[in-house]
Each structure stands twice: as structure tokens, then as C-alpha cells.
Amino acid sequence: MDTLYQQIDTCPDLYAIRQLVFVNSAAYAYTEIRVDQHTALFGRNNLGKTSMLNALKLFLLAEENFKRCDRKFGFRSRTGDFYSTQDSFSYYFPEQNSFILLEAENLYGHFCILLHQGRKEFSYARIVVPCSYDEIRHLFWDFAAECNEGLGAPLETLSLSSIQKALQALDGEALHDSRTIRERLFSHRPLSREEGQFCLLPLKQGGTERELAAWKQLIHLAFDIGANDSRTLPDALATIIEGEKQRKVDELNVDLNQILLDYNQLRQERDELQRIRNAQEDWERFDSCYRQYEVQSREVGQFYVDLKAAISKEQSAIEPLIETAAKEHTSALEALGTAKKGFTDTSDRAKYLEGKQEERERQLKKTEHAVQQISDIQRAHPDLELDELLVRLQQQAARKAQFIADLEDDAKRQNRMEQLNHNLIRDRKARDRVRDQLEHHKPSVLEQLDAQSATVLYSLAQDLAETTPSLDQHIREVMQQFAQLFEVDVDTLVLCGEPIPNITARPYNPEQIWQNHKQNLAKLEREIQEQQAEFDNLRVSISFTQSEQRERLKLEKAELSALSTNIELLKAKDTHLQQYNEAKEALSQLQQQIVETSKDQALYKKQYDETLGREQQTRQSLEGLKTQKQKLTAELDRLALLRINHGVIRGWESRLQASARSMPENALSVLDKQCGEIGNLQGTLRDALQKLLRQQLLGSDGSEAYQMSFDMAHVKGLRQQFERLFSSLEGQRMDYDNRVRAHNKHTSIQMDTLRDAGQQIRGFITEINREFSAYSVSNLEEVQLACDLHPRFQLLLDDLGKINLHGEELHDERLYQRLNDFCSEFFSDAGRNGMVLQMHQLIEKVRYRFRLSGQDQFTENSQSNGTTSMVNSLLLSILLKRLLARDARICLPLVMDEMASIDHQNLQTAVAIAEQHGFVLFGASPDMSAEIVQAVNHYIYLGMFKATERAYSKQRRVVYHGACEELRPLSKRGATVELAETGV
């Protein structure tokens, strides 16, 4: 039998996939796999057999990245779980120098598609080159290197940039976006080499979205010919059916929810129109009442505006008069204030000065008393100067204080008496000596010398003036000679030209010495007398009782206090005299000010009386005008109250102009009565409005109808809304009828679309079965494709036939109730998103019916994997014809994982059917099987070909390429050579 590859070579319009190449991708360091011949891949699990076959989807689908990988490519693990975006991308493109290539052929010759990492996250990009892979394979692996046991070596410089120049030199181009990918890879261009040289799949319409969606479903079927996924065939059939329609708008896209929404809206509008028609009489009653209210309320408003204008005019006229009277009264107040202030100030000043006079008199009296006391003290001691008197008094005070201290302490008293006795003896001796000197005068030493010598010696030792020995001539001369050693310079003694420190030169005056003796004698006698008196008192006090001692202490302390007071008075004599004179002068000046202030007070009193009379007169005039204004203001306030209480006035006030008219005296009462009447009319109007509002004709919730009052501007707005509502009622009815007819037409069309969809599915299945009838599979006499519509949809189609969809009125409510039930059961209860009915949702299940040879009845019992795969292959070939250009054929691998599970006979039949329809069988099995090898002829044991020395990555070590398909010796034993088959 010729291989399918040889058959394909004879077909001029064939589109074939030749081989798949992995470079540092998946589990492979470098691997070339022919995909245009039946092939089996052997090797332990996790060698990437299935992922190698799945990589074809990266070329056959117009995708650019791995995002939402499960929906785009459907890569699954052995357990059936989808691989994630990250896992899938990292597996196929783990590094920058990871590449996957596909060599293909079309009517223009060979070309290659190179996939590599893209710039964006999880993206991959394409480069297409118009040449066979043999021309560029040296760019990805070093085949001549003696490495890895003859398998070659990786290229150290391999990168995208390292191969781009070579690819560009071969007219390679990059496909950057999905639109370019569709145009270049999936558009049938048999008459243009430039446009068609890279066509991988010749779709009839050039790769529209609908075609690509259908192709995607078929790809999934081609990679799952065992049809393990129950939705693969239903989705594929639905996509093919929709894809064959000429226009996108012809696809099934019935929005049942929108039909229900339109119906509910129309039904609500119908009910709303009827409610409005039922309220017609209530509207006419309200409108009549409103018109009557508008006329009467205008009259009341005009009366109010005119009356207010008249009162305001009169009030405006009185304002200038009040202003003038107020100015006059203000002027009078100011004059009164000035006069009152002058009178008050002078009165306050007079009172102040009188109080000041009393203070000054007390001060004068106080200072006068102190001066009198000082004078009395001095008169008591006429022989003493002030300083001497002060010293004497201080001495007396000291002795008095000492005496008091002695009285209070017996020990001190005894010591004091002893001291006084000692002092008396000493002073008496001194007194007798001075007295003797005065009574029996003897010349002193100094009196026996010349005047200059006496002055020098008196300055050096004053006691020489008291010494009276008689000097002989020799001593006198010696002393004078001594004195001549000194010189007197003003008041300083100079010895040998140098002043003697701490010595003052004092001239010796015998008369002055004599006077000093007399004064000293008087002083000694006085002190002796005082000391004797103190001594006697102390001696007497020894015999005092405690009571007598207390009385004596009290007396002595009183005398000491008096002495202290006299001492203080004498010390401050000059101050007391100055204060006395100042107080006397100040009192005199103050008395003069009091006389002058009394004159000013009389003058201001006269002015105050005159201005007070003027102020009273202007105030009475102003109060009269204000009373008149208050009356007008009260009338305006009453008008304002009427305005507040009656909204009708507020409503017309700003819209009416005042006019001159004569007003009755009781104008306010007349207006009040009219407002009451219009209030009653307003109540009637409110009742009519509330009745309308309670019917909720304006779209509100009706709560407004229970308001106790309405602003007339709001009432006017509501009336306008009601007027528009009732005046447009007929037009709304006509518009409603038109939209009902349009809705009925649209609904009928949509229901016909649903019926057509069911017929399209049944017609499509009939066409498929007609083509099935030309083939036989295995021991099957006949194979049919059966399609079950969703039971809810089928029930809906049955019910639609019982309902009249033609008429002018809104369709029967039963139709919409049925549609609503269908949506609830089909979409909501089933967890489907949205309410738009599409073709793939109508197909519940696609199944095969088999009739075995020699039997009349069909059965739906499951067939073997091989039989199922063969039937799926047949279906796939039929469906592909509907997508491809009329004269095009493709060579597409059919993936059969776990090939060992199919028996030998069925596997051979599957290969034959695949060849008959232009497919190649591509399978995988972990263990090598002779039955599989015999059926497919070509096989590869991937586990035998691994890089032992160098690879692009330690994780990717499988190496397989054409150089491996050879016989090589295992060992030599003499002339016998054993050969091993490494892969054919």
C-alpha cells in the first residue's frame, strides 16, 4: 500500500502539514516529528507525547496568547483537569530561545511557521518563511557536532535575534495581529501567490469569526476523535450550522427576555391608558374648579396689591416727617446731653472738692499736731540743740530698754547693778578729777610749751592737755626740740617731708580745753545721776511682788514708747514741718477752687433747664408721628398675616401691578372675608386634585395625595401635567396600537426563527446521514447521526403551534406565560447566563445510531474506541468539507491518545478510514506494541533519544531528528555484525 504521504504528493490542491519541530520547548531539546504519515509515539509517561500533538493547536488556531488557555486550547492533564495559563506558557515557551516550528505545504510550495515568545505577558508571536524546513534547520541545532552520542549539540548562540536576519534573507515576515494571521493563514487565495503562499487552511470565506469558531470546534474534535467530551459534537454541529449562513444577522440569536420585557411594558402601558381614560371625569371636574379659582383668586390678589400699595404710599409720606422730627429731637437730646454733662460734671467736681477739703483739713490737723509735739519736746530741754537732744533721748531710751530687760531677768538685773556700781565709781572719780581741775587750776604740760610745740604734741597725744606735772627747763627744751621735728601743713603733720597717716593737726586752745572740761563735768554729773537713779530703781525692784513688777514693767514700757515716739518726731522734724506747710498751702488752693466751681455749677444748671424743655417738646412731636406710623405698620402687618395665611395672595402678588382706587374704611375686613371665600374654593380644588393624585396617573406613589395643603405654583404644574396627559391620550393610544403591531410582528418572526432553527438542525442531520450512507465502518451496515433537541425547547415548539400569532391586539397572555416558564426552566434553573437563545443551546445531545450487518434494527449501544474513532473521523471529514474551499483537500493528523486500548483489527480499520478521507493517524502509548507498529508502520520510541552531554536545559533533554533513522552496529564479533533498528 502506498503511504498517504505519497498519495498527497500527487494532489495539486492539497494543503498538508509536513512536520513539527520543537527547539528547547516542552520536554524536548530538539525534536523533528513527521505529521503527514501515520505515526505512533512510545515512551514512558511525562515525556510530552500528548503535549507534542496538542502543540498543533498553537498553529491551527488564530490565537496570540495563552490567556484563558482552557477555553482557547483545552490543554488537559491525564486526570482531565485543564492546565493553567502560566503552566501552559511556561511549558511551551520556557525561555527566550524556545521555538516551535511547523513545516507545511500548499499549492505554492513549502513554507514554515515559527512560534516564539511575544513581548506581552503570556503571548507568542509568528514568523512565516517561504521555504522548506531543510533550508533553515541548521539555525536551531548543530547536527555535525560529535556530541550526545552522535545526536548533535545545541547552538550556544541560539536566540531570536540570531535567526531573524537569516529568516528575513529568505523573505520571512512577522504576523503581528489576529487580523493578519487570519488573512495570511486561513484565506483561500488560489490566484495570488503573494497573498496565498502561507495559507495553512483554505477556509471558504477567508477566516471570518464564524468560520474560525467552527474550525475551532472541529480542531477540538480532531484532537479528541474518541469524543470524550459530551459537548464537543453538539457545539461543533451548532457552530457549523451557524457558520454556513450567509450573514451574521442570520444566526440564531433570539432574546426571549427582551420579548418578555417588551410584552410587560406594553401590557403595563395598556393598563395605564385604561386608568387614564377612567379618570377623565375627575380631570374635567378639577379643571373647571381650577379655572374658577384662577379668576376669583386674581380679584383677591388685585385687591390685596392695591390696598398694600395705598398703605405703603401713606407710610412712605410720613417717613420724611419722622426723619425731620427725629433729627430735631436728636439735636435737642445732644444739647440736653451737653448741658446735663456740664451740670453733672460741675456738681460732681464740687462734691469731689468738698470731700477733698475735708481730707486736706484732716491732713493739716495731723501735721499740725506733730509740729506741736516737736515744739513741746524742745521747750522741755531749752539748753540742748536738736542733735544733742536727740542723743540724750536715745540714751534715755537705751537705759530704759536696758532697765526693762533687767526687770524681766533677775540675772541680768544683778549684772546690771554690778555694772552700774562699777560705772558710778569710775565716773565719780573722773568727775572729782575734772572738778578739781576746774576748782584748782594747774598748768598742763602743753600750757608750759610754746604754741607750735603745744599744737604738734596735742595733735599726737590729746591726753597731754590733761596732764599737769611741772616741767623743768631741760625737759621743756627736749619736748620742744622733739616737736620741732614736725611740720604743720594745713591739718596734716609732716615728718621729714612725709605726711604722718591717721594724724590730724589740731591747734591747741586752752580756753576750749577749759570749756570742754566744764561740759565733761556736766555730762559726768548727769550720767552719774541717771546711773544712780537706775541703780536705785533696780535695787528697789528686788523687793517687788509679781504684781508690782508687772505694773512697773507696764509703766516703763509706756515711757519707752513715748521716748521712741519723741525720737521719731525729732528725726522727722523737717519732714513734718514741710508737710504742715504743704497741707496748709494745698487747703488754701482747694478752697479757692471750690468757690470757682460753685459759680460754674450755677451757670450749667440754667442751661440744663432750658435744653430740657426743648427736648420734651421735640419728643412729643416725634412720638405723635411714630404713633401714626405704627398704625400704618399694624395695617401692613395685618396684610402680611393675610398673605401668610392665604397662599392665593402670595401666588398673585409678584404677578400683578397696583392700581389707584378708593378704599373703604373697612378694607382689611373686606379683604379678610374674600380670602375666606377663596379658601373654601381652594379646599374644593384640593379635594379634586387629591382624588386625581390618588389614582397615581403621573407616575408618583400617591403619597402626595394625602398632603393637607398645596402650593399653587405646584398645583399649576400638576394641572399642566394632567392637561398634557389627558390631551395626549388619543395620540398615546395610537402609538400604543402601532407598537403592539410591531411587537406582534417581531414576536412572530422570532417564534418563526425558533421553528426554523429546529428545522435547520434536523435538515443538517439529514444531510450528514445522507453522506454517511455512502460509507461502511467495520462490521456496521449503516451509521446514522441522531440529534436530540433540548426537551424544554421541543416542548416550547409544540406549544407555539397551538397559539395564534396573528392579530391586532396584544398576543394571548398564554404565549408570554409559556415563554416566561421556558426562560425560568431553561436559563435560570439550569444556571445559564443571560436570556438570549442560541443554536448550541438547542442541541441537547448528539449520538450515533448503529445497524450491524444482518440486523434490521438500529442500536445506540456504545461501540469500541476504534469504531467510535473511525465514525468521528468520517464525521470530521464531512464537516471539514463544509468549511474548506471547494477544490481544497487537507492532510490533518487525528490524535488518538492511549492507542494500546484499541484492538489490532479496529486499529487497522481506523488507519484505512483515515487514509480514505485524507487524514493521518497520530497516536501515543507508554509501551511499545507490535500490533500498533504493524498498523501504523512508523513509530518513535522517544525514551531512547536523549542528550547525554549537552542540551539547552537540563529539564529538556529529548533529541530526535532524521539523522537518528539509521542502522548502526551494536558490537563486532569476527565477521558478524548485529544491527539494531533505532526508528523507521
**DSSP-derived secondary structure for 375-422:** HHHHHT-TTS-HHHHHHHHHHHHHHHHHHHHHHH-HHHHHHHHHHHHH
Average pLDDT over all residues of the chain: 79
Residue 705 has pLDDT above 70, yes or no: no
Residue 3 has pLDDT above 50, yes or no: no
Residues 959, 64: contact at Cβ < 8 Å? Answer: no
Per residue in 901-916, pLDDT tens?
777 777 777 787 777 7
At 979, the pLDDT band (50, 70, 90 cuts) reads very low
Per residue in 377-407, pLDDT tens?
777 777 777 777 777 777 777 777 777 776 6
Of the given ranges (247-256, 533-542, 625-634, 908-917), which has the lowest mean pLDDT? Answer: 247-256
d(CA 379, CA 796): 151
Please enumerate in sequence order all residues whose Cβ is within 8 A of that of 216, keeping only pairs 6 or more positions apart, or say none: 61, 239
Please enumerate in sequence order all residues whose Cβ is within 8 A of that of 271, keeping only pairs 6 or more positions apart, or say none: none
∠ Cα 973 976 978 (to 5°): 90
Nearest to residue 716, comparing CAs of 672, 652, 654, 653? 652
Residues 89, 64: contact at Cβ < 8 Å? Answer: no
d(CA 218, CA 221): 5
- Alpha-carbon distance values, 326 to 86, 317, 610, 633, 709 (Å): 96, 15, 19, 18, 46
Q: Of the spans 160-164, 514-518, 682-686, 881-885, which averages the highest pLDDT?
A: 160-164
∠ Cα 723 728 730 (to 5°): 130
793, three cell numbers: 425547547
Burial 653-674 (b: 16+ CB within 10 A, else e): eeeeeeeeeeeeeebbeebbeb
Q: Report the percent of the chain where pLDDT is more than 90.
A: 10
Residue 642, helix vs strand vs coil: helix
Residue 956, helix vs strand vs coil: strand
pLDDT of residue 32: 93
DSSP state of 964: G
Helices (H), 773-812: 791-800
Q: In this structure, what are the phi and psi dihedrals at residue 670, rounded to the nearest 5 degrees?
A: -60, -45
At 332, the pLDDT band (50, 70, 90 cuts) reads confident
DSSP lists the bridge partners of residue 941 as 42
Strand pairing category for 14-25 and 889-896 = parallel
Count Cβ atoms below 10 Å from residue 41 Cβ, excluding itself: 23
Q: At how many degrees (to 10) do helices 813-823 and 256-278 cross?
A: 140
Q: At how many degrees (to 10) do helices 546-571 and 280-379 cross?
A: 100
pLDDT of residue 36: 87
Nearest to residue 936, comparing CAs of 948, 924, 927? 924
892, three cell numbers: 490533518
Of the given ranges (322-336, 403-417, 444-458, 935-949), which has the lowest mean pLDDT? Answer: 403-417
Place of cell 440564531: 252
∠ Cα 386 389 393 (to 5°): 140
DSSP lists the bridge partners of residue 786 as 847
User: 832's torsion region: left (phi>0), alpha (psi -120 to 50) or beta?
Assistant: beta
- Alpha-carbon distance values, 587 to 365, 428, 527 (Å): 11, 56, 47
Residue 757 has pLDDT above 70, yes or no: yes
At 229, the pLDDT band (50, 70, 90 cuts) reads low
On the CB side of 963, how many CA atoms lie within 13 Å of its CA? 19
Strand pairing category for 14-25 and 99-106 = antiparallel
Q: Which helix (H) or strand (E) covers residue 616, if one does? A: helix 573-645
Burial class (CB in 10 A: 0-12, 13-18, 19+), 222: buried
Per residue in 561-592, pLDDT tens?
877 778 777 777 777 787 777 777 777 777 78
Per residue in 442-493, pLDDT tens?
777 777 788 788 778 877 777 777 777 778 888 888 888 887 878 787 778 8
DSSP lists the bridge partners of residue 849 as 784
Residue 971, helix vs strand vs coil: strand
Per residue in 182-205, pLDDT tens?
889 888 888 888 888 999 888 877
d(CA 914, CA 36): 12
Nearest to residue 773, comparing CAs of 847, 874, 862, 914? 874
Per residue in 79-126, pLDDT tens?
778 889 999 999 999 999 999 999 999 989 999 999 999 999 999 999
Please enumerate in sequence order all residues whose Cβ is within 8 A of that of 308, keeping only pairs 6 or more positions apart, or say none: 636, 639, 658
Q: In this structure, what are the phi and psi dihedrals at residue 653, rounded to the nearest 5 degrees?
A: -55, -50
DSSP lists the bridge partners of residue 838 as 253
Q: Kindly compute the dihedral angle of the four CA atoms of residues 512, 514, 516, 517, in this order, to the nearest 10 degrees.
A: 170
Long-range contacts of 535-542 (CB under 8 A, 24+ apart): 535/417, 535/420, 535/421, 535/424, 537/403, 538/403, 538/406, 538/407, 538/413, 538/416, 538/417, 538/420, 539/417, 541/407, 541/413, 542/413
Q: Of the spans 172-181, 359-368, 671-680, 863-872, which averages the highest pLDDT?
A: 172-181
Q: In one letter, which amino acid is 951?
A: A
Residue 494, helix vs strand vs coil: strand
Residues 268, 740: contact at Cβ < 8 Å? Answer: no
Burial 454-485 (b: 16+ CB within 10 A, else e): bbbbbbbeeebbeeeeeeeeeebeebbeebee
On the CB side of 187, how many CA atoms lie within 13 Å of its CA? 17
Residue 358 has pLDDT above 90, yes or no: no
Q: Which helix (H) or strand (E) covers residue 106, if one does? A: strand 99-106
At 966, the pLDDT band (50, 70, 90 cuts) reads very low
pLDDT of residue 135: 95
| Separation of CA 377 from chain center | 95
461, three cell numbers: 597725744
Of the given ranges (128-137, 153-162, 429-438, 973-982), which has the lowest mean pLDDT? Answer: 973-982
DSSP state of 859: B
pLDDT of residue 771: 81
Q: At how many degrees (to 10) do helices 451-460 and 473-484 cross?
A: 70
Q: In this structure, what are the phi and psi dihedrals at residue 4, rounded to the nearest 5 degrees?
A: -60, -30
d(CA 964, CA 32): 10
d(CA 214, CA 61): 11
Residues 649, 300: contact at Cβ < 8 Å? Answer: yes
Strand pairing category for 967-973 and 976-981 = antiparallel
Burial 158-194 (b: 16+ CB within 10 A, else e): bebeebeeebeeeebeebeeeeebbbbbbbbbbeeee
∠ Cα 591 597 601 (to 5°): 145
Residue 187, helix vs strand vs coil: strand
> Average pLDDT for residues 752-773, to the nearest whole number?
83
